[in-house]
Amino acid sequence: MLHAGLDLSRRRLDVCLLDGRGELVAETAVSADADGLRSLAGGLAGRRGRAVIESMNGARFGHDTLEEHGWDVASVATAPLAFVLAAASAAPLSRN
């Protein structure tokens, strides 16, 4: 099974693919449009996978396109995550 992290911007979709052991399989980018997403999904056809995509404009299309190709896809809201990470970095670390 492949695991994919997807970072969607206005012009491109950056993709990081890991295998089941967490080893890097590929890092690539496709255009952030219908052709790019279909190209990515088609290139992964026949392979099972899980993906996480940043929740923003256009993410639903990427989510649905990969799901149509049999992938398990989750959307993640990055604003709350950034808040949690910022709060965690300001918190004192336990030295236990």
Q: What is the pLDDT of residue 96?
A: 46
Choices 3.30.420.80, 3.30.70.20, 3.90.1150.10, 3.40.630.30: CATH for 2-90? 3.30.420.80
Q: What is the pLDDT of residue 60?
A: 80
DSSP 8-state secondary structure symbol assigned to residue 56: S
Q: What is the pLDDT of residues 56-67, one digit of tens each?
A: 777 788 888 888
Segment 62-88 shows an average pLDDT of 74
pTM of the model: 0.69
Q: What is the pLDDT of residues 6-63, one digit of tens each?
A: 888 888 889 999 998 999 999 999 998 888 888 888 887 778 888 888 777 777 888 8
Distance CA 84, CA 86 (A): 5
SS3 68: helix
SS3 71: coil
